[in-house]
Amino acid sequence: MARIHPTAVIDPTAHIGQTTHIGPYCIIGANVTLGEGCRLHGHVVISGPTVIGDGNEFYPFCSIGQRSQDLKYEGEPTHLEIGAGNTFREFTTVHRATSPGGVTRVGSHGNFLAYAHIAHDCAVGDHVIFSNNGTLAGHVVVGDHAVIGGLSGVHQFCRIGAHAIVGGCTKIVQDVPPFMIADGNPAEIRGVNHVGLERRGFPAESIRELREAYKVIYRGNLNTTQGLEALRNQFPSSDLVTHLADFIATSERGIVR
Protein backbone atom coordinates (compact mmCIF):
# COMPACT_ATOMS: atom_id res chain seq x y z
CA MET A 1 0.00 0.00 0.00
CA ALA A 2 0.99 3.63 -0.52
CA ARG A 3 2.75 5.19 2.44
CA ILE A 4 0.86 8.37 3.30
CA HIS A 5 1.86 10.53 6.26
CA PRO A 6 -1.07 11.19 8.61
CA THR A 7 -0.74 14.96 8.13
CA ALA A 8 -1.19 14.73 4.35
CA VAL A 9 -4.54 15.77 2.87
CA ILE A 10 -5.70 13.61 -0.06
CA ASP A 11 -8.86 14.35 -2.04
CA PRO A 12 -11.04 11.23 -2.32
CA THR A 13 -11.04 11.50 -6.12
CA ALA A 14 -7.22 11.30 -6.32
CA HIS A 15 -5.62 8.06 -7.54
CA ILE A 16 -2.38 7.19 -5.76
CA GLY A 17 0.01 4.44 -6.89
CA GLN A 18 0.38 1.63 -4.37
CA THR A 19 4.15 2.11 -4.06
CA THR A 20 4.06 5.91 -3.81
CA HIS A 21 5.26 7.68 -0.67
CA ILE A 22 3.53 10.93 0.38
CA GLY A 23 5.32 12.85 3.11
CA PRO A 24 4.08 15.24 5.79
CA TYR A 25 1.77 18.16 5.05
CA CYS A 26 1.33 17.35 1.37
CA ILE A 27 -1.95 18.28 -0.31
CA ILE A 28 -3.26 16.23 -3.24
CA GLY A 29 -6.30 17.79 -4.89
CA ALA A 30 -9.19 16.51 -6.91
CA ASN A 31 -8.63 14.67 -10.19
CA VAL A 32 -4.95 13.99 -9.56
CA THR A 33 -3.37 10.71 -10.64
CA LEU A 34 0.02 9.79 -9.16
CA GLY A 35 1.76 6.76 -10.66
CA GLU A 36 3.76 4.04 -8.95
CA GLY A 37 6.95 4.72 -7.03
CA CYS A 38 6.57 8.47 -6.72
CA ARG A 39 7.94 10.27 -3.66
CA LEU A 40 6.65 13.54 -2.22
CA HIS A 41 9.07 14.61 0.50
CA GLY A 42 6.79 17.05 2.29
CA HIS A 43 4.77 20.24 1.85
CA VAL A 44 4.12 19.39 -1.82
CA VAL A 45 0.86 20.65 -3.35
CA ILE A 46 -0.57 18.98 -6.47
CA SER A 47 -3.82 20.19 -8.02
CA GLY A 48 -5.79 18.68 -10.87
CA PRO A 49 -6.76 17.68 -13.40
CA THR A 50 -3.19 16.34 -13.40
CA VAL A 51 -1.75 12.98 -14.45
CA ILE A 52 1.75 12.11 -13.19
CA GLY A 53 3.62 8.99 -14.28
CA ASP A 54 5.75 6.55 -12.33
CA GLY A 55 8.90 7.29 -10.35
CA ASN A 56 8.69 11.06 -10.04
CA GLU A 57 10.25 12.76 -7.02
CA PHE A 58 9.00 16.05 -5.58
CA TYR A 59 11.00 17.96 -2.99
CA PRO A 60 9.44 20.30 -0.41
CA PHE A 61 7.24 23.20 -1.49
CA CYS A 62 6.76 22.16 -5.11
CA SER A 63 3.47 23.49 -6.49
CA ILE A 64 2.27 21.34 -9.36
CA GLY A 65 -0.88 21.66 -11.49
CA GLN A 66 -2.09 25.02 -10.22
CA ARG A 67 -4.31 27.14 -12.45
CA SER A 68 -2.76 29.15 -15.24
CA GLN A 69 -1.47 32.63 -14.45
CA ASP A 70 -2.71 33.77 -17.87
CA LEU A 71 -5.17 36.62 -17.28
CA LYS A 72 -7.45 35.16 -19.97
CA TYR A 73 -8.01 32.04 -17.89
CA GLU A 74 -11.52 31.94 -16.43
CA GLY A 75 -11.51 28.65 -14.58
CA GLU A 76 -12.23 26.25 -17.43
CA PRO A 77 -11.06 22.64 -17.01
CA THR A 78 -7.49 22.37 -18.26
CA HIS A 79 -4.85 19.70 -17.75
CA LEU A 80 -1.26 18.88 -16.85
CA GLU A 81 0.52 15.69 -17.90
CA ILE A 82 3.93 14.66 -16.51
CA GLY A 83 5.89 11.61 -17.64
CA ALA A 84 8.06 9.26 -15.59
CA GLY A 85 11.29 9.50 -13.63
CA ASN A 86 11.53 13.27 -13.20
CA THR A 87 13.02 15.12 -10.24
CA PHE A 88 11.43 18.38 -9.13
CA ARG A 89 13.52 20.21 -6.56
CA GLU A 90 12.35 22.73 -3.97
CA PHE A 91 9.76 25.38 -4.98
CA THR A 92 9.41 24.17 -8.59
CA THR A 93 6.13 25.29 -10.16
CA VAL A 94 4.30 23.73 -13.12
CA HIS A 95 0.95 25.14 -14.26
CA ARG A 96 -1.99 23.70 -16.15
CA ALA A 97 -3.01 25.01 -19.57
CA THR A 98 -5.20 28.04 -20.28
CA SER A 99 -7.68 27.10 -23.03
CA PRO A 100 -10.52 24.66 -22.29
CA GLY A 101 -9.23 21.13 -22.77
CA GLY A 102 -5.67 22.36 -23.20
CA VAL A 103 -2.68 20.47 -21.80
CA THR A 104 0.69 21.46 -20.36
CA ARG A 105 3.06 18.55 -20.98
CA VAL A 106 6.32 17.59 -19.29
CA GLY A 107 8.23 14.55 -20.55
CA SER A 108 10.27 11.97 -18.67
CA HIS A 109 13.63 11.82 -16.89
CA GLY A 110 13.98 15.58 -16.48
CA ASN A 111 15.82 17.33 -13.66
CA PHE A 112 14.18 20.56 -12.54
CA LEU A 113 16.24 22.40 -9.94
CA ALA A 114 14.99 24.80 -7.27
CA TYR A 115 12.52 27.51 -8.34
CA ALA A 116 12.25 26.26 -11.92
CA HIS A 117 8.99 27.33 -13.52
CA ILE A 118 6.97 25.83 -16.40
CA ALA A 119 4.04 28.01 -17.38
CA HIS A 120 0.73 27.18 -19.01
CA ASP A 121 0.57 25.30 -22.33
CA CYS A 122 4.28 24.48 -22.45
CA ALA A 123 5.56 21.26 -23.99
CA VAL A 124 8.81 20.05 -22.41
CA GLY A 125 10.67 17.01 -23.76
CA ASP A 126 12.60 14.17 -22.18
CA HIS A 127 15.97 14.26 -20.36
CA VAL A 128 15.95 18.04 -19.95
CA ILE A 129 17.76 19.98 -17.22
CA PHE A 130 16.46 23.24 -15.76
CA SER A 131 18.99 24.90 -13.48
CA ASN A 132 17.89 27.03 -10.52
CA ASN A 133 15.32 29.66 -11.54
CA GLY A 134 15.20 28.48 -15.14
CA THR A 135 11.79 29.75 -16.24
CA LEU A 136 9.43 29.36 -19.19
CA ALA A 137 6.60 31.68 -20.14
CA GLY A 138 3.46 30.23 -21.73
CA HIS A 139 3.37 28.10 -24.89
CA VAL A 140 7.12 27.43 -24.90
CA VAL A 141 8.38 24.21 -26.52
CA VAL A 142 11.58 22.60 -25.19
CA GLY A 143 13.19 19.71 -27.07
CA ASP A 144 14.73 16.55 -25.66
CA HIS A 145 18.07 16.85 -23.82
CA ALA A 146 17.90 20.66 -23.75
CA VAL A 147 19.51 22.53 -20.85
CA ILE A 148 18.09 25.78 -19.42
CA GLY A 149 20.67 27.69 -17.39
CA GLY A 150 20.07 29.26 -14.01
CA LEU A 151 18.22 32.59 -13.79
CA SER A 152 17.27 32.36 -17.48
CA GLY A 153 13.91 33.40 -18.91
CA VAL A 154 12.23 32.21 -22.11
CA HIS A 155 9.60 34.43 -23.75
CA GLN A 156 6.19 33.00 -24.58
CA PHE A 157 5.80 31.02 -27.83
CA CYS A 158 9.56 30.50 -28.20
CA ARG A 159 11.13 27.11 -28.92
CA ILE A 160 14.31 25.60 -27.50
CA GLY A 161 15.64 22.93 -29.84
CA ALA A 162 16.79 19.46 -28.86
CA HIS A 163 20.30 19.22 -27.36
CA ALA A 164 20.52 23.03 -27.12
CA ILE A 165 21.93 24.88 -24.10
CA VAL A 166 20.67 28.20 -22.77
CA GLY A 167 23.38 29.80 -20.62
CA GLY A 168 22.81 31.24 -17.18
CA CYS A 169 21.14 34.66 -16.88
CA THR A 170 20.12 34.53 -20.55
CA LYS A 171 17.07 36.29 -22.02
CA ILE A 172 15.44 34.29 -24.85
CA VAL A 173 12.95 36.11 -27.08
CA GLN A 174 13.41 34.03 -30.26
CA ASP A 175 13.86 30.34 -31.05
CA VAL A 176 17.11 28.61 -30.10
CA PRO A 177 18.00 26.11 -32.86
CA PRO A 178 18.80 22.53 -31.87
CA PHE A 179 22.38 21.57 -31.01
CA MET A 180 23.38 25.20 -30.34
CA ILE A 181 24.56 27.21 -27.33
CA ALA A 182 22.66 30.45 -26.63
CA ASP A 183 24.02 32.87 -24.07
CA GLY A 184 23.76 36.52 -23.06
CA ASN A 185 21.29 39.34 -22.71
CA PRO A 186 20.33 39.82 -25.45
CA ALA A 187 21.03 36.20 -26.33
CA GLU A 188 23.46 35.23 -29.04
CA ILE A 189 24.36 31.85 -30.50
CA ARG A 190 27.91 31.09 -29.37
CA GLY A 191 28.47 27.87 -31.29
CA VAL A 192 27.57 24.18 -31.43
CA ASN A 193 27.05 22.23 -28.20
CA HIS A 194 29.81 19.83 -29.21
CA VAL A 195 30.71 18.78 -25.65
CA GLY A 196 27.12 17.80 -24.88
CA LEU A 197 26.82 15.96 -28.19
CA GLU A 198 30.06 14.07 -27.55
CA ARG A 199 28.84 13.03 -24.10
CA ARG A 200 25.66 11.65 -25.65
CA GLY A 201 27.58 9.57 -28.14
CA PHE A 202 27.06 11.51 -31.35
CA PRO A 203 29.63 10.51 -34.02
CA ALA A 204 32.49 12.91 -34.63
CA GLU A 205 31.49 13.24 -38.28
CA SER A 206 27.95 14.33 -37.36
CA ILE A 207 29.32 16.96 -34.97
CA ARG A 208 31.69 18.18 -37.68
CA GLU A 209 28.76 18.57 -40.08
CA LEU A 210 26.84 20.57 -37.48
CA ARG A 211 29.81 22.88 -36.96
CA GLU A 212 30.02 23.44 -40.71
CA ALA A 213 26.27 24.10 -40.78
CA TYR A 214 26.71 26.64 -37.99
CA LYS A 215 29.24 28.50 -40.13
CA VAL A 216 26.80 28.58 -43.04
CA ILE A 217 23.95 30.01 -40.96
CA TYR A 218 25.88 32.30 -38.61
CA ARG A 219 29.08 33.20 -40.45
CA GLY A 220 28.09 33.02 -44.12
CA ASN A 221 26.50 36.47 -44.61
CA LEU A 222 23.40 34.77 -46.03
CA ASN A 223 19.78 35.53 -45.31
CA THR A 224 17.65 32.75 -43.82
CA THR A 225 16.30 31.49 -47.12
CA GLN A 226 19.74 31.38 -48.69
CA GLY A 227 21.24 29.71 -45.63
CA LEU A 228 18.60 26.98 -45.58
CA GLU A 229 19.10 26.31 -49.27
CA ALA A 230 22.85 26.04 -48.71
CA LEU A 231 22.36 23.59 -45.83
CA ARG A 232 20.10 21.33 -47.86
CA ASN A 233 22.50 21.37 -50.81
CA GLN A 234 25.70 20.83 -48.84
CA PHE A 235 24.44 18.21 -46.36
CA PRO A 236 21.70 16.24 -48.16
CA SER A 237 22.36 13.02 -46.23
CA SER A 238 22.84 14.47 -42.71
CA ASP A 239 19.85 13.78 -40.48
CA LEU A 240 21.08 16.26 -37.84
CA VAL A 241 21.59 19.11 -40.31
CA THR A 242 18.21 18.34 -41.88
CA HIS A 243 16.62 18.56 -38.42
CA LEU A 244 18.40 21.87 -37.84
CA ALA A 245 17.22 23.24 -41.19
CA ASP A 246 13.64 22.09 -40.64
CA PHE A 247 13.58 23.75 -37.21
CA ILE A 248 14.78 27.06 -38.64
CA ALA A 249 12.36 26.86 -41.58
CA THR A 250 9.36 26.46 -39.26
CA SER A 251 10.31 29.25 -36.86
CA GLU A 252 7.60 31.87 -36.40
CA ARG A 253 9.53 34.20 -34.12
CA GLY A 254 12.85 33.93 -35.93
CA ILE A 255 15.99 32.39 -34.47
CA VAL A 256 18.48 33.72 -31.97
CA ARG A 257 21.43 35.19 -33.86
List residues with catalytic annotation: 120-121, 138
Quick one: which H or E segment has residue 198?
Answer: helix 194-199
DSSP annotation of 9 reads E
Rg, the chain, Cα only = 20
Residues in the chain: 257
C-alpha 91 chain-centroid distance: 16
**Could you tell me which residues come within 8 angstroms of residue 137 by beta carbon, excluding any fewer than 6 positions away?**
119, 153, 154, 155, 156, 158
Query: How far apart, in Å, are the Cα atoms of 107 and each of 15, 30, 56, 86, 116?
Result: 20, 22, 11, 8, 15
Question: Distance between terminal CA atoms of the chain?
Answer: 53
Going 32 to 65 to 105 to 108, the CA torsion angle's sign is negative
At residue 78, what is the residue type? Answer: T
**Could you tell me which residues come within 8 angstroms of residue 213 by beta carbon, excluding any fewer than 6 positions away?**
231, 234, 235, 238, 241, 244, 245
* Burial classification of residue 191, based on how many CB atoms lie within 10 Å of its CB (0-12 exposed, 13-18 middle, 19 or more buried): middle
Quick one: which H or E segment has residue 214?
Answer: helix 204-219
